[in-house]
Structures are given as C-alpha cells and as structure tokens.
C-alpha cells in the first residue's frame, strides 16, 4: 500500500508540473484550464495506448507458438504459475540484449525480448528475465511507467515551447499575472529535470520489487543475478537505440554511463540488484521468500 501511495503521489506531482508549465506557456486562468485538460488527456491516452506505444517504439513484432516455441512455452508456463492471463509475446529485431513488458493490466499485457537476449542467455537466466517482466505486469508497473514516460515527455515539450516564447515571444500573455522572466527561465531549466527525477523515483524502486518477484516465481534468484550481469556487460558494447523516455520499461539500462549518467539512470545499479538477489538466495535456505 505504501508503494502504491508513493506512486500515486509521484504521478500527481508529474501532472501538477505539467499543469504549471501550461500556465506559464499560455497564461492565466485559460492556461490553468488547458493544463488540467492536457494532463487528463495525456494520462487517459497513456492508459489505453501504453502497450501499443512501447511496442512501436522498439519495433517489436508479435510471434506465435509456431514461430518461437521455446520462448512461448516459457512465457505460458510462468504466466500459469503466476496465475495471470498469457500476455502477448513479441520479439524486437535487435542484437542488443534486453527485454520489457507493457500493458495497462494483466488482461492487456505483452512481453517483448530482443533477438540478442535470446542468443546470449541460457534457459534458466532467460526464465528469470521473463519472470521479472511478468512481475511488472502483476504489479501494474507497466502502466505506471508508460504514463510517467508520456507525461514527462509532454512536460519536456511544453518547457521547450516556453523557452521559444521566452526568447521570441516577449512580454506577458495575461494581464491578470505578472511576467516574471526569472520564474519563466527557472521553469524552462528546472521543469524537465524535475520531471526526469520524478520518473526515475517511480522506476528504480520497482526494479527491486520485480527482481524479488522473479526470485519467488522461479525459485532461482541466482539465475536472474547472472542474467543481469551478462546483460549489463553487453549493454556497454551494444546499447539499444530508442526513445529515452521509455528506458524505464527495459530490464537493464540500455546505455551504461558514468558520473551524471549513473545519477540519472533509469535503473538502480546492477551491483545492488545482484546483491539483493543473492541475499534472497541465502534467505531461501531458512525460509520461503
């Protein structure tokens, strides 16, 4: 319940930021009303189209049981074990090793893996990855992350519009409020950063939860730990090229960076995730996790 409350609060903060920027861009009461409407439409659009958007971004293609029998059987087996409907199965035409899940709920979900991950992971490690993605579906992380990505993208777009109005528009747009150039400038600079930080706060804690869910579902936390280490090593050599707003959906950060790259990473450090999984393995010898 605490995690759900935190998520709702963070999504509300993103929507509030979107409304505030709309106020600055358009001005006055009309800007406020338009901002509220824009936030509502953006969230509603994300709710119903999140799966299609993410799959299109990564050019994922649906596959049948005949086309990918091993992968299909694995998803089917783990879905039955998790007591959720069988999601759609997709393959991304990329040699980068990664995976993601999407969809607004377990009844409208999809799991996608790249060609690369199928080539490099042994069966037990791939099973850990699939179980991780199914846990995201169970926890409805897929919807949360897609909505956050869409709203954050809208915030960045409006901040860009505001920067154009600042440099080329000039003056205040509404006599009911003062045009504070410093306030506008701070909004242009800080709003996209704030949106990114809020989005990351939503994403990072959910990765640990999905890792733990995978450990429970497979009974083999070490296999996922090995998979994460292998995936991180390949991500450095062959990053996945796609819209950065959708990086939180992936099981591993597609670009390994240093310094600020790590600060603004959409995922917690792989070392921390591996350490947590190995702790779960130790606990399994004395109690069920």
Q: How far apart are CA 115 and CA 71, in angstroms?
A: 11
User: DSSP string spanning 59-102?
Assistant: T-EE--TTTSHHHHHHHHHHHHHHT-PPPEEEEES-SS--EEEE
Active site residue 115: no
Q: How far apart are CA 266 and CA 250, in angstroms?
A: 9
* Strand order across the beta sheet in which 88-92 lies: 61-62, 88-92, 109-114, 99-103
- Asked whether the beta carbons of 125 and 137 are under 8 A apart, the reply is no
CA gap 194, 152 in Å, rounded: 9
In 3D, which of 197, 193, 116, 105 has the Cα closest to residue 146? Answer: 105
Choose, from 67, 107, 115, 133, the residue flagged as catalytic. Answer: 133
Helix (H, G, I), strand (E, B) or coil at 139: coil
Which two structure tokens, joined as six digits, stand for 100? Answer: 């993601």
Residues involved in catalysis: 133
């Amino acid at each position: 319940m605490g995690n759900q409350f935190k998520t709702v609060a963070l999504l509300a903060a993103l929507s509030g930021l979107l409304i505030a920027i709309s106020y600055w861009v358009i001005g006055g009461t009309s800007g406020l009303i338009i901002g509220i409407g824009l936030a509502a439409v953006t969230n509603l659009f994300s709710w119903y189209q999140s799966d299609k958007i993410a799959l299109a971004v990564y050019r994922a293609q649906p596959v049948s049981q005949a086309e990918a029998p091993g992968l299909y059987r694995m998803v089917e087996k783990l879905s039955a074990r998790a007591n959720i409907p069988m999601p759609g199965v997709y393959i991304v035409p990329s040699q980068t090793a990664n995976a993601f899940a999407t969809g607004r709920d377990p009844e409208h979900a999809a799991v996608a893996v790249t060609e690369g991950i199928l080539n490099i992971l042994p069966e037990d490690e791939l099973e850990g990855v699939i179980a991780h993605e199914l846990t995201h579906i169970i926890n409805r992380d897929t919807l949360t992350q897609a909505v956050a990505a869409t709203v954050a993208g809208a915030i960045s777009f409006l901040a860009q519009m505001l920067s154009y109005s600042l440099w080329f528009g000039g003056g205040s747009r509404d006599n009911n409020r003062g045009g504070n150039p410093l306030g506008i400038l701070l909004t242009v600079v800080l709003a996209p950063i704030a949106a990114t930080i809020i989005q990351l706060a939503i994403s990072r804690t959910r990765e640990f939860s999905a890792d733990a869910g995978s450990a429970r579902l497979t009974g083999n936390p070490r296999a996922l730990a090995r998979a994460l280490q292998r995936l991180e090593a390949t991500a450095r050599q062959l990053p996945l090229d796609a819209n950065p707003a959708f990086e939180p959906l992936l099981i591993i950060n597609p670009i390994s960076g240093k310094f600020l790259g790590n600060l603004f990473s959409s995922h917690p450090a792989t070392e921390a995730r591996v350490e947590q999984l190995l702790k779960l393995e130790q606990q399994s010898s004395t109690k069920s996790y």
